[in-house]
Structure 1
């Protein structure tokens, strides 16, 4: 069975809509072409799973939507925003960031499921580009992240949130996807590291304090000094502060250097995370079944 067949769950008959076998293709189709073709097959496989099991993406969106409703309507009236302003305007960019941050758990769960079921070993035994499995997972997660952001934005608009930053909202969504891209490699690495899907579910215990000790729900300057310093230097806080600025949310920033340069650090932190976890994920993938 070919990589394309396994990726789409079909048998040995490719059908006319699949890429042809490399042996029958013209010679000008080199290694780069087949690397992209294999990556696309992995992406198709991932999106097909979501299409056939929409409950998965509904589950991924359920927690952030419930959090928006809970904090926006139940706790919102008790929350303080530095400099005044509506708490929902402060909250919504943070909820977008939290959704992107929690995404690495979904990545890890899918990767460990494929690893324990032998799917990744099957891919590795095929004449396909070694980078396709990892790259295809990353592209699939970015596509799903765009869908998640779209649904959350519709939820926020229904609650009365309105961005006031002009075309800056496009840059804000770019930063959100940049953070998600960086955390994909953390998820892939953890998914190849943990022994089973049950263990991957335990990663929530790591993600929860990571998102809570940040500026997603409360400004760091309202926390105790030591906790506020920790929250301010959390990479998630930089993205949250930068998106609030780009969305035009009137929130006074803190006095620390990292808070005063939130836009810069929102670009730097994901770059650092990618530089650390992308090589770790690739190396872990290469060491499988050795």
Structure 2
């Protein structure tokens, strides 16, 4: 879905429903608006009139539902309160009926309830905010809900969890449309991490470290700068001046992951960047990111995103 510099911008329509969350409403423009004209955004309501937000103010977008008919991507930000019925809202349904077949649909947090009520998520994978998973399953049992991930990319329909996960999803869309460089630039402008795997857990209960304790962040930064080395738990713990048992416990408290799993995710993330942005061979990339051999790289990349290194490079390297 890459856009050449001379082609028309990708048209994005953001549908603000009554009770919209202002922060999430602004995510599409905040991310896509950092791309020097690759996207053209229009915010609309179901009838062209103002909508209230879940805060103490209302919003007056410049457009009515007619912009949905020309959009290449339609975004439904979250809103509240959530209906207690699976019946679609007539006004929202009438607006969505204007969307052309094949248009990419994107929801953030509770926006998935609108897509599900319209029957667009039946028998498809999706996610929403973890706190609303039980209600979502009750209302929409046909949807293959996964409340434990940040976002789900099912091709023409993408759904995300709340707030920050929406930023992750739009960086993912930008990466898919225009490659890692564009996504990384937008992430730097937004001062957010450029990539978090959609399969990462939404919600990790992390206890606040006791005063005076030493965290694992310095060791994580040290390891990130040396991913090519074969880091063992003992070596990481020694760098942090902790016993392996204490280090593993604190590492999990701070990241929600074991040191080994975290290292694998970082190595896969770096491998993806090198596949996109360099002409290094698969063997060279495997060595540089710390995998024992190219077979290990292929296995871990396939586990993470379901494709081989060569297939991934063919998809994304051309968007540099």
TM-score normalised per structure 1: 0.33
Indicate the structure with greater helix content. 1
For CA contacts below 8 A with separation 6 or more, give which structure has more relative contact order. 1
Question: What TM-score comes out, normalization by structure 2 length?
Answer: 0.31
